[in-house]
Structure 1
Amino acid sequence: MAALRGLRGGLPPFDGEREADHWVRLREVVRSLREQAGVGRADHAVDFAEQVVEVLCSAAQQVTGNAGELPELMQQALSAHALACRRSRPDPHRLASWLVRLQLNYPDGPEVALSEYAEALGPEGIAAYRRTARRACRELPTVPFGRTPRYDRRRWAVVRLMEELALYTGDVDVEVQWLATDLSTPWQYLRIATVLEDAGRTAEALAWVERGLVATQGSRAEVRLVDVAVDACLRLGKTTRALQLARNAFRDWPGLDTYLRLRTVADRADRWPAQREWARRWLRAQAEDTTRNSVLVQILMWDGEIDAAWRAATEHGCADHVWAALAEERVMRHPEQVLPVYRRLVRRRVAVGGAEHAAEVADLLDGLGLAWEKTADDGRAKFHRYLEELKRECAGDRALLTELARRGL
């Protein structure tokens, strides 16, 4: 006990010899505790162990330099406490309260594993532990969407406590509660919804996703939330709501992915033709926006309407990668149309430069060569003259020349 009394005021700056003697005494205390827990009076060992653990934890909080063996000694003392509890079966309510208090008061203390205490706590003690932990969690302020969470010692301790409890008990409500203390990102809403969905609680999962949709409006992560919400609605038979969500997602984030998602939902509701026409009309009404028109072109290509896609691209323009895909679709039937497209795209990619664009230029040149060959009898010769001129202009672009040589161009 002398070693413990010496610790109550913190670890003094001993010289080498006295410090070594200090650690010897501490090891002796912990060894004595372990022996008492194993073969002595377990009820006395419980009280003694709690004193040892708390004093060691308190000393560790005050150490500013090297803590030496304190973490290991703390863990050994707690293990002895768990053993003594299993042998003596102390009051489960008192034990639960002490374990929670230990973790909250000493976040850097030993790690409490509920599996080590389950036998001593029993169902009654586990329930008391759960109530106390959840009460501490309710006191934490929720981090709202868009804010940066700040994990002070208290928050970190409570979250760790709840996480361990959820892991041991498999209690979904406990897991949802600690996850819900941090709603700073869209992914937290997804995590909560996934936990609930995995537990078969689809309606609750949908409610959390709906909350996430309200909080994250304008965020790209909203699309993923919509996906989860749509799946939940379909499982619950809420087809109309699922279709509304899919339409909103397409309108907010027009793209081939959201279009296909809309189709999946509309097919389930047997309403796809009407929804397809709505989506196309909506895009055509905003065709002056090149980005939106690019989506329209991609959709028409996906639906196999290549001529309509070409008209839409020609009238209002589209992104280069969409032009390239469209040219590839038409090169065999209309090489004379795609020839100027390929030449324009090659020039743009060459102007950008950089090793990452060399492969793109080479791909475009493959298409250009095919278009030229299909357009005229001497098309291959014209392409080779064009290619040689391009190489001279790009003599300083080693990445491009290397790629062209690798492709045999």
Structure 2
Amino acid sequence: MTHALGFTEEDLRRLAGTRSFERGLGYRSAVSRVEIGDETITATVDGTDAYEVELTEDEDSGLTGWCDCPFGQEGNFCKHCVAVGLAVLQEAGSVPRQRSAAASRTRLLDGWLESRTREELLALVREQLSDDRDLRRRLELRAAAAGEDTGIVRERVLSLLDTRPFARCGYVEYADTHAYHRQAAEALTALRALTASGRSAAAVEVAREALRVLGRTYGEIDDSDGLIAGVASGLAEAHLEACRTARPDPVETAEWLVPYLLDEVNDAAGIDLVDYREVLGGPGLARARARVVAAWRANPKGWAEKHLLERLLKADGDGVDALVEVHASDLAPNGHTHLVIARALEAAGRAGEALEWAERGLREAVSEGGPDSDLVAFVCERHERAGRLPAVVAVRRNLLRARPSLAAYQHLRKAARTAGTWDGAERADALDVLRAAGRPGKGRACNGSVLVDALMDDNDLASAWQAATDGHADQRQWRALADLIRDRQPADALTVYLRSIEPLREQTGDRAYERLTELLLSARACHRALGTEDDFSTYVAALRAGQKRKRKLMALLDRHGL
């Protein structure tokens, strides 16, 4: 199927960004050797060097570009990609014809190959092998995997995973990762070929060595695109596939698997012990459990040990009590572990115990930030489902008293309104808690009081103004209050704005000038509401006279008619 271009000049600008797009405009004449296929466009762009560019059109992901220039190899849609895209757009009318021609050439080649004799095809392949070293190496590996010499396969697989030819000062940079990935991916082909050819036992051993080698070097590779993690995951899948076919000794498999999983350098492979349940069977699971439990008891706070024990219990079909024991040995100070236990118990049909653990987490939380928000939500949702609305209010009330904050006040208000108990003593008591929390401190690092924020959030502006007058507001809150009352109490709001302007007279810089202008605009609105615009004009004239050397400020005031 042939089709026209599925991208526009705007797509190129969006992908590249303005700067790269504009640079690409100057490279259109440097584009050569354009070849248009069904979904890909390849070309060469002459810049500092001759760069190879490939544009790909996909119905799902749209247009993507790759270039072997340094900027392009970092994953960017570079100026060279832009140049190729623009060059092709100039000839968009001929694209369907070129794609039709490309499809015809493919059909012609397929037909010609199918008409060759075995001897002619062999001669053709040998000719290509003599000119293409990489192709020869890949086919040698496939031949070894299909033959009897496992040693050759092992040696080739490990050499394919060797990062040294791609490393600079011991590290594989992003620009070299794609080339390394193309080579390393051949190891997967060889391993799968071993299993497919009836030598799955050999594939098990080679896969173990390959996983060990890649795990040891993975930290020395810039794998920002996740390509090498994909190879590691593929090696893990090949190992499991080989194990399922070869049925290696389950105890020996457990002896290899547990230490491998406990070593955090092997995380990239993503092996899950649960997937090996059938391979390990009863004897293997028993041995794995003994080793994992011993490792966990030696290091109960270790993430790897704890996670592996959880997975083992699932693979072993053990009860939830064993899982609770694991988590209960190392409870997080914010109650998150209590939540993990509660969810496990609830999933096992033990809702009562689940709620007990969750409520215990609320009581025992000692972290500075308070209990885990998901834990709080868990407890409140369970009480709400059961119609225990006063219990939800009690939880939210206790949290506000322990750590007064606007969020805690809002949660309590919502819960109490649902329970029908907000207007009255509940709200009054909550405000008393916030009032007792104290007044704002001095200095830029200090925030205003929660009391004023809560009253403004309630839209109780009269009480918020009184609280501010009593010393509970900082400058931010005073200005926020002034904005809220300006239409109804312009005189009070004007006092706040003028007071805020004074310290800005001594400051310089764009931010200070913008803030001063905003306050003057607000003050002008108050004067208009009061009918005292002449007073405002006099005030601004005096201010401008004192600030006339600040040219940026003067320009900003002019722009706003001040």
Q: Same fold (TM over 0.5)?
A: yes
Letter in 1 for 2:529: K
Of the candidates 538, 542, 550, which is equivalent to residue 389 of structure 1?
542
Of the candidates 214, 219, 244, which is equivalent to residue 86 of structure 1?
244
1:38 aligns to what? Answer: 196
Is the Cα contact below 8 Å between 1:193 and 1:205 reproduced in 2? no
2:454 aligns to what? Answer: 299
Deviations along 1:75-106, one digit per CA (max 9) or x if unpaired, are: 88766543432324445565445422443369
Greater shift, 271-280 or 389-398, is seen at 389-398
- CA separation in 2, counterparts of 1:189 and 1:343? 52
Alignment of 1:156-235 (within 5 A): 158=305, 161=308, 186=334, 189=337, 192=340, 204=354, 207-208=357-358, 210-211=360-361, 214-219=364-369, 226-227=376-377, 229-235=379-385
Deviations along 1:352-373, one digit per CA (max 9) or x if unpaired, are: 6554455443332222112222
Seen in structure 2, the aligned counterparts of structure 1 residues 215 and 402 have a Cα distance that, compared at 3 Å, is farther
Deviations along 1:295-344, one digit per CA (max 9) or x if unpaired, are: 33343344443333323322335122221222223323332233222100
Of the candidates 527, 530, 533, which is equivalent to residue 380 of structure 1?
533
Seen in structure 2, the aligned counterparts of structure 1 residues 240 and 3 have a Cα distance that, compared at 3 Å, is same
- CA separation in 1, counterparts of 2:268 and 2:373? 42
Alignment of 1:5-404 (within 5 A): 36-40=194-198, 42=199, 45-46=200-201, 48-52=202-206, 81-90=239-248, 92=250, 95-104=253-262, 107-108=265-266, 111=269, 113-114=271-272, 121=279, 131=289, 135=293, 138-139=296-297, 141-143=299-301, 155=302, 158=305, 161=308, 186=334, 189=337, 192=340, 204=354, 207-208=357-358, 210-211=360-361, 214-219=364-369, 226-227=376-377, 229-235=379-385, 237-272=387-422, 273-284=424-435, 294-349=449-504, 354-376=509-531, 379-395=532-548, 404=557
Q: Which structure dedicates a bigger proportion of its chain to helix?
A: 1
Letter in 1 for 2:483: E
2:139 aligns to what? Answer: none
- CA separation in 2, counterparts of 1:168 and 1:260? 44
Seen in structure 2, the aligned counterparts of structure 1 residues 141 and 89 have a Cα distance that, compared at 3 Å, is closer
Is the Cα contact below 8 Å between 1:335 and 1:375 reproduced in 2? yes
Letter in 1 for 2:428: E
Is the Cα contact below 8 Å between 1:233 and 1:242 reproduced in 2? yes
Letter in 2 for 1:84: A
1:13 aligns to what? Answer: none
Seen in structure 2, the aligned counterparts of structure 1 residues 176 and 387 have a Cα distance that, compared at 3 Å, is farther
Q: Secondary structure at the match of 1:139?
A: helix
Length-normalised TM-score, structure 2: 0.49
Greater shift, 173-182 or 334-343, is seen at 173-182
Structure 1 segments unaligned to the other structure (5+ residues): 7-15, 17-28, 144-154
State the 1:277 CA deviation. 1.5
Q: Which structure dedicates a bigger proportion of its chain to strand?
A: 2
2:110 aligns to what? Answer: none
Q: Secondary structure at the match of 2:368?
A: coil
- CA separation in 2, counterparts of 1:72 and 1:382? 72
Higher-RCO chain (CA-CA 8 Å, sequence separation at least 6): 1
- CA separation in 2, counterparts of 1:2 and 1:384? 93
Seen in structure 2, the aligned counterparts of structure 1 residues 309 and 119 have a Cα distance that, compared at 3 Å, is closer
Is the Cα contact below 8 Å between 1:57 and 1:106 reproduced in 2? no
Seen in structure 2, the aligned counterparts of structure 1 residues 391 and 235 have a Cα distance that, compared at 3 Å, is farther
Letter in 2 for 1:382: D
Q: Secondary structure at the match of 2:420?
A: coil
Deviations along 1:192-219, one digit per CA (max 9) or x if unpaired, are: 4896599598763773574366343432
Greater shift, 339-348 or 350-359, is seen at 350-359
Is the Cα contact below 8 Å between 2:497 and 2:519 reproduced in 1? yes
Seen in structure 2, the aligned counterparts of structure 1 residues 138 and 300 have a Cα distance that, compared at 3 Å, is same
Seen in structure 2, the aligned counterparts of structure 1 residues 244 and 345 have a Cα distance that, compared at 3 Å, is same
Length-normalised TM-score, structure 1: 0.64
Is the Cα contact below 8 Å between 1:133 and 1:161 reproduced in 2? no
Q: Secondary structure at the match of 1:216?
A: coil
State the 1:407 CA deviation. 4.1
- CA separation in 2, counterparts of 1:53 and 1:368? 75
State the 1:276 CA deviation. 0.7
State the 1:166 CA deviation. 10
Seen in structure 2, the aligned counterparts of structure 1 residues 387 and 193 have a Cα distance that, compared at 3 Å, is farther
Structure 2 segments unaligned to the other structure (5+ residues): 1-149, 156-164, 166-186, 222-228
Seen in structure 2, the aligned counterparts of structure 1 residues 334 and 196 have a Cα distance that, compared at 3 Å, is same
Q: Secondary structure at the match of 1:218?
A: coil
- CA separation in 2, counterparts of 1:197 and 1:400? 65
Deviations along 1:37-82, one digit per CA (max 9) or x if unpaired, are: 3223x5xx42x4454455667778999xx99xxx999988766543
Letter in 2 for 1:230: C
State the 1:392 CA deviation. 4.5
Letter in 2 for 1:281: D
- CA separation in 1, counterparts of 2:316 and 2:507? 57
